[in-house]
Structure 1
Amino acid sequence: MGELVLAARGLSRQFGGLAANKDVSLDMHRGELHAVLGPNGAGKSTLINLLSGDLPPSGGQILYRGQDISGWSPDRRSRAGIGRSYQRTNIFPAFTAFENCRLAAQSRTPRALHVFSRAQNYDDLRSAADRALEQAGLAARRDVVAATLSHGEQRQLEIAMVLATAPSVLLLDEPLAGMGSEESQLMVSLLQKLSADHAILLVEHDMDAVFAVADVITVMVTGQVLESGPPDQIRSSLAVQEAYLGGGEPDDE
């Protein structure tokens, strides 16, 4: 087991009288892909929003390399090395794949709007963008306008943009959504490759993909952790089977 990079401790989030997350704890280690599953209304998207800073917690702690970051903004978390993708593809459609990644890399410079004042800065950004595209399997599509990429390639590009920011943590919210079988297989292969050097949290409804790629699976029901462990343990769990049979198919909650 690699370094403990990101952890939730007793994490909760209230929306009025509704507890979207209640006393949720989990660990994310470098070199490990940790998947989160759950039936309708489980609170999966709320959890990833809490970890990324898009929502403030009502209680509990978020620890990054041992430091409490519960009050940090999304931007500060991103600059520290916590990157995330969203359910809906979030790219610049009029720009090329390379330009998308270069902009993402540029956002990490101390003076992002003045970065081209030095040739070395520009070279560094080009290198970061090309490296991210290579990691995401899009090097051959470098100069293609993003809007003309396939849906699967656009999802890869979004991950490439996150990689261009040099994160140690990847929070991925349904990266396989809307993909066909071939595209899903490519994404699973990409996730397996990225998990070697990152701590990854994967929120995903594609059960086959999750069990193929995950090292650890946490199952949530009504905002709480029902069970957490390796895939074989989760697959054989009667409590997990009852939660899915009683709650219907997983969704994007």
Structure 2
Amino acid sequence: MAELVLSARGMSRRFGGLYANKDVSLDMHKGVLHAVLGPNGAGKSTLINLLSGDLPPSAGEILYRGEDISGWSPDKRSRAGIGRSYQRTNIFPGFTVFENCRLAAQSRAPRALRVFSKAVSFADLRDAADRAIAQAGLAERRDVVAATLSHGEQRQLEIAMVLATSPSVLLLDEPLAGMGPEESQSMVALLKKLTPDHAILLVEHDMDAVFAVADVITVMVAGQVLESGPPDQIRDSVAVQEAYLGEGEPDDE
């Protein structure tokens, strides 16, 4: 059985009297891409914010390798191996691809603002950055200024920056947003490449991409889990078809 890396148990997030997430439970395993679908307002981004530490849960617990991390800061979670990307591209546009990834790798050093330390050398940072760039398929763009990259390449760069922190968990919030067909195919190929070595949670609106790449799909409605299972189960579910996959397309979050 695949290694259980990150899980939520009865996790809720309340804003006043409104639940953005309510009693959500899910498991993330190494080598498994777990996609989350749902209409606008389903609580998908809140779910990622809770798992990454950007929001604290109002109830329930989050376990990382069996340890309760519900009270951990985003920085502590990142250092432990939980990496995330955002809906809006989050890069340094004036720096090169390599410089962006080196800065990300440097954030894992004991003293993040120092390039050299006893624990992490410049060579270590360079190697970590170059490995991440190669993993993300940007080796030929290593020395290009980020602002000049295409939209799809910038999304690849953001994932490369996450990879430079050596994560075991990837929380990806709509990495295909705004991409054309060719760029989407490249991102799907990248996600498939990364899955064997990571536990991946993918929030995405591109239905074709989700069903092409996901091993497990969880469907959320109004902050709660409607159904979770393999893609064929979700595709054939009457409840899911009525709530999300039926007539009409949901608005983007």
| Global fold match (TM > 0.5) | yes
**How far off is 1:252 after superposition?**
4.8
Instruction: Provide the residue aligned with 2:237 in structure 1.
Output: 237
Q: Percent sequence identity over matched residues?
A: 86
**How far off is 1:140 after superposition?**
0.4
| 3-state SS of paired residue (1:114) | coil
| 3-state SS of paired residue (2:33) | strand
| 3-state SS of paired residue (1:42) | coil
Structure 2 letter corresponding to 1:139: A
Against the structure 1 CA distance between its residues 252 and 27, is the aligned structure 2 distance closer, same or farther, given a 3 Å change threshold?
A: farther
**How far off is 1:17 after superposition?**
1.1
Instruction: Provide the residue aligned with 2:213 in structure 1.
Output: 213
Structure 1 letter corresponding to 2:189: S
Judge conservation of contact 2:13–2:59 (CA < 8 Å) in 1: yes
Check if 1:18 corresponds to 2:18. yes
| 3-state SS of paired residue (1:55) | coil
**How far off is 1:115 after superposition?**
2.6
Structure 2 letter corresponding to 1:81: G
Check if 1:173 corresponds to 2:170. no
Judge conservation of contact 1:40–1:247 (CA < 8 Å) in 2: no
Instruction: Provide the residue aligned with 2:160 in structure 1.
Output: 160
Instruction: Provide the residue aligned with 1:138 in structure 2.
Output: 138
Structure 2 letter corresponding to 1:3: E
Against the structure 1 CA distance between its residues 140 and 58, is the aligned structure 2 distance closer, same or farther, given a 3 Å change threshold?
A: same
Structure 1 letter corresponding to 2:173: D
Unaligned stretches of 5+ in structure 1?
A: none
| 3-state SS of paired residue (2:220) | strand
| 3-state SS of paired residue (1:76) | helix
In the TM superposition, 1:76-115 aligns within 5 A as: 76-115=76-115
CA RMSD of aligned residues (A): 1.5
Instruction: Provide the residue aligned with 2:122 in structure 1.
Output: 122
TM-score (ref. length: structure 1): 0.97
Judge conservation of contact 1:6–1:62 (CA < 8 Å) in 2: yes
**How far off is 1:40 after superposition?**
1.9
Judge conservation of contact 2:4–2:30 (CA < 8 Å) in 1: yes
Unaligned stretches of 5+ in structure 2?
A: none
Against the structure 1 CA distance between its residues 248 and 56, is the aligned structure 2 distance closer, same or farther, given a 3 Å change threshold?
A: farther
**How far off is 1:90 after superposition?**
0.2
Q: 4+ residue runs of structure 1 moved beyond 3 angstroms?
A: 117-120, 245-248, 250-253
Structure 2 letter corresponding to 1:4: L
Moved more, 107-116 or 22-31: 107-116
**How far off is 1:249 after superposition?**
2.8
* CA distance in structure 2 between the aligned counterparts of 1:28 and 1:201, rounded to whole angstroms: 7
